[in-house]
A and B are shown apart, each in its own frame.
Chain A
């Protein structure tokens, strides 16, 4: 497969140190290249949506950044060091929601949030758990087991677990899926606030509203290449 070299750069930070940096990154599976080479540099507080047609490599890119998939070529650095999902720093600073999730069948909704909050040593974790239950309107199901939830409620639990904890970088894969419109809008406002407070967002999405309300740029993966465009252009591409 021919791969055009395509440099996607976002250097808005004054200092040279990027929070997340991908150099000459080629992603895919053994014997099947999906996209690349890509160069991506994200500074603190930036919000980038990853958009593209089905199969263009959006989720593969996220999984490669997380270290779940080995890159075919190139390097990824988080805070100037190679990404290592086993490192304590990475686990403390990167919040992730990339799957439909599996749950401890014997733990309630509230206990799932407790495990994350206490695992990250959040002070007054009880209040924070309550706040997340309120935000995602999960109070009524707080004492239910995962098997008793609808798919939308399970998705809300996963998002609550991702957002309850502090993080410098938040990676989300289609967070809008299975959420009703009202919760989506609340989520988008919250993501925008989160970004303004200095958290970097990298979000795979098909929703133009998410791009417009919460993010600044869009990385369009198209025909094996990546192109950085404004969030508005990205939203228009999704609406085309």
Chain B
């Protein structure tokens, strides 16, 4: 049909002019609102970055186990600084995957509905989409660069600001190169294939790491030298200047390539990428990760027959929960986390220390709260489902709570057993450990029950209604209260990790019980009703 297009007369009308005209029509108050919205988001991003800086420093301090006696792992061959280049490669892989998922060229739903179907040359629309994609790539890469530099700064203790400046230039240029490559992939419609290759590339990277680990363990001189040189090179300005020049050349080539090809990206691809971007921005604005990480219908479809036999004898609400866990592959996240923790503890020097274990427990608690909440959410929030299942809301809530406790207890037990087997923590008093794990599980369950019922947030009214700093702090605290609840119940567990020989002070048990009370009350209510019936 494109053959006919040459003969078609195309009008010169530019819808962008109409949209701009409407935007210019806004009065001062509306323009100020728009400006203040943007200002607030930029300010929030800067504040978040400052907190992130502190959090990363705390994390590194803990992982290095500063001043805390810890066992030597016979299999540990890496230092954290030697692993930082690996982190860089992983960041590039995942940034490229993100860009491919987001398009990167996209049009939002209103333009897809009203502009894209018009018989106009779409160069202006696509050109604008390309500029936005490049900006997105640059910003995302620069953000990763900042995080990575903070990590490096925390590990190396200090480095030249000139190195940091050149490194940032490299990250921005890398963002442009990756975006252009993603545009080329998108214009060929090969996103799925490239995503598969990238998944395999991560596996290859893991295999390479394992091989390097083996050679380091065998004291191979070449590998020892290579790892040391790579670790030193990232702190040298010449590395980044050279990298910057190479990336600049790649930037020009990739931009030329994507510019040749980006007009061929079809309307269907632009539209679906727009939907993906809208979903991601919505999740970020809502500070709710669930929508963006929900498994796709295609992924669930591939597992449509899994778990059928396993759930055949389970009560109906349990069937829903177990099938959501299996077919949505939601159990992958905690399992991958546990494997990563064990691998890091065994192979990286200094990580096998009680402070690291505290970090691992805290992260697992947050992860479990979010992970479990995604599984149990429909039972707690969809009243129609409650009616269809023929069970009371209370009964479903109790089932959800029991599921959350058992799931969290399993994950916490596996982490405790793993760290105990490696000698990072002392499992001398099994009753105490059992009680602490149980309370931690109840806390995770209480947190996930709260988070699962989290509704859409109207930040404008929430923050706009807060008239002073205390009120703003209260709003923000309320937002993280579910996570605080989960983390606070770990108090006895963390006390055991840090001082296994000492008796846990009763206030810690009390605090933990208070925060776990919600889940406990739901469960006890269930058991007492069952015993009466």
The chain A residues found within 8 Å of chain B, CB to CB, are 30-32, 67-68, 78-79, 81-92, 96, 99, 101-108, 111-112, 114-116, 118-121, 161
Contact = CB atoms under 8 A, between A and B. Distances in A.
Given A84-B1, A102-B110, A116 B22 contact: no
A69 to B, nearest CB: 9
10 contacts: A31-B302, A32-B301, A87-B1, A88-B119, A91-B117, A106-B22, A108-B22, A115-B15, A118-B13, A119-B119
B291 interface: no
B158 interface: no
A85 B11 contact: no
Nearest to B6: A88
B298 A106 contact: no
B122 to A, nearest CB: 8
Pick the most buried of A101, A102, A105, A111: most chain B CB atoms within 10 A of its CB: A102
B123 to A, nearest CB: 13
Given A114-B18, A118-B13, A104 B114 contact: yes
B110 A89 contact: no
Contacts of B276: none
Given A67-B268, A104-B114, A81 B119 contact: no
A155 B2 CA distance: 32
Contact of B18 (A67, A91, A115): A115
Contacts of B298: 30
B1 A116 contact: no
Pick the most buried of A87, A88, A91, A99: most chain B CB atoms within 10 A of its CB: A88
Interface in B81-134: 109-115, 117-120
A119 B1 CA distance: 20
B11 A118 contact: yes
Given A67-B268, A86-B266, A120-B118, A104 B1 contact: no
Interface residues of B, number: 34
Given A101-B113, A115-B115, A87 B4 contact: yes
B118 A116 contact: yes
A89 B15 contact: no
A84 B2 contact: yes
A89 B1 CA distance: 7
B23 interface: yes
B5 interface: yes
A64 B119 CA distance: 20
A116 B114 contact: yes
A27 to B, nearest CB: 16
A86 B267 CA distance: 6
B19 interface: yes
B8 A107 contact: no
Given A106-B23, A114-B18, A81 B114 contact: no
Contacts of B13: 118-119, 121
Nearest to B111: A104
Interface string B258-269: 000000001110
Contact of A120 (B4, B11, B110): B11
Contacts of A88: 4-5, 8, 10, 119
Contacts of B115: 115, 119
Interface in B7-62: 8-11, 13, 15, 18-19, 22-23, 26
Contacts of A30: 298, 301
Contacts of B22: 104, 106-108, 111
A85 B267 contact: yes
Contacts of A90: 1
B118 A104 contact: no
Contacts of A81: 1, 3-4
A91 B114 CA distance: 12
B15 A119 contact: yes
Pick the most buried of A84, A103, A106: most chain B CB atoms within 10 A of its CB: A106
Pick the most buried of A92, A108, A120: most chain B CB atoms within 10 A of its CB: A92
Contact of B19 (A32, A92, A104, A161): A104
Interface string B263-283: 000111001000000000000
A88 B19 CA distance: 22
